[in-house]
Structure 1
């Protein structure tokens, strides 16, 4: 299950998601690997905080509902959550430890999905973030940082290209060219190997 980045081409998985899924398949020969791209807008409307918050919240709810559905209907299935850039925030918020909005955004609290039940962690094999916005970046735009809850924390791996200004702690701003490399720089394969060890 993968959430694409902001206006990333090739929806619903996006280029990074497509690369990631193929890498996972290459590391799990003989096993069935089904891909699910989270259908959310991956909006670039950062100036409209309410609209942007709603699109992210919709992606989080869709991700959580899919995990719940698979856990109930296919309890033996191992779920992998992944996301690139904004999609990594969606995947991270799906397994959050509690989202505390800044006081000035308290009116948006009703859009915050509750945490995914800890009991479902047995169905989630791994969580992978590519180019996830840093805590500084997220805080600068007025959102709570991604805090993965304890049952999922040990299953989570993050990838950040050195110098990628979205994930390296730089002040908020547009992405640089390094932020676009995750689908081609070998990190999706490294993540697939992490998953294969847990499958």
Structure 2
């Protein structure tokens, strides 16, 4: 598991990441389960913080794919961290961005080592524009294995205006379980209820509403 926390969350997984791990761990049964918190600032300086997160997450994913080729990775993130992970999956550098200034896209082969991508409160195109950043585009090789979970009314990942909703993910068991059940189903985990798309959850292949984070 590779997880990127949200803006201003303390170093580590952050509350949403920890809740997600706690829900996912029992669902994978006896399978070994290691967690890597993306090492990045998660500050309001989205350009520099985000780039640092993309570099760190991408480097770890590539290292794991090379050193542990039989390991299936789950990528996850919340809010700014969801944007970081979304960019990690991108097949191309966003338009208007100097390719020399940002991490290059992952080799297509790396996608074979990623079982799922779980994004909580992924910032919508509108939100990313507000932050002065390009929209997050999930790469084609990752779309079918990506779920986006967005709380009702969350202005970061929907057209809602309930700003308080953006802070509810870590305590919203239903939404956390949506992500965990999806990840477990992609890993072949047999514990817990099967994944069924619920309110606020959609796979990228299904055209989930854009979300800012």
Do these two structures clear the TM 0.5 threshold for a shared fold by scoring above it?
yes
Q: Assess if the C-alpha contact under 8 Å between 1:137 and 1:169 holds in 2.
A: no
Give the aligned partner of residue 76 of structure 2: 82
Give the aligned partner of residue 85 of structure 2: 91
Correspondences of 1:174-193 after superposition (within 5 Å): 176-186=163-173, 187-193=175-181
| Deviation of 1:109 (Å) | 4.9
Q: Assess if the C-alpha contact under 8 Å between 2:50 and 2:84 holds in 1.
A: yes
For these two proteins, the number of residue pairs brought into alignment is 185
Q: Give the 3 Å change call, closer, same or farther, for CA 140–44 of structure 1 in structure 2.
A: closer
Q: 2-side partners of 1:141 and 1:69: how far apart?
A: 31
Correspondences of 1:103-182 after superposition (within 5 Å): 109-169=99-159, 176-182=163-169
User: Unaligned regions of 5+ residues in structure 1, if any?
Assistant: 46-51
| Deviation of 1:53 (Å) | 1.2
Give the aligned partner of residue 4 of structure 2: 3
Q: 2-side partners of 1:163 and 1:151: how far apart?
A: 29
| Deviation of 1:44 (Å) | 1.8
RMSD (Å) for aligned C-alpha atoms: 1.7
User: Unaligned regions of 5+ residues in structure 2, if any?
Assistant: 188-213
Q: Assess if the C-alpha contact under 8 Å between 1:137 and 1:170 holds in 2.
A: no
Q: Would you say 1:66 and 2:60 are equivalent positions?
A: yes
Report which stretch shifted further, 161-170 or 12-21: 161-170
Q: Assess if the C-alpha contact under 8 Å between 1:83 and 1:91 holds in 2.
A: yes
| Deviation of 1:170 (Å) | 5.5
| Deviation of 1:143 (Å) | 1.3
Q: 2-side partners of 1:109 and 1:150: how far apart?
A: 19
1:194 to 173, 178, 182: 182
Q: 2-side partners of 1:34 and 1:87: how far apart?
A: 19
Normalization by structure 1: what TM-score?
0.87
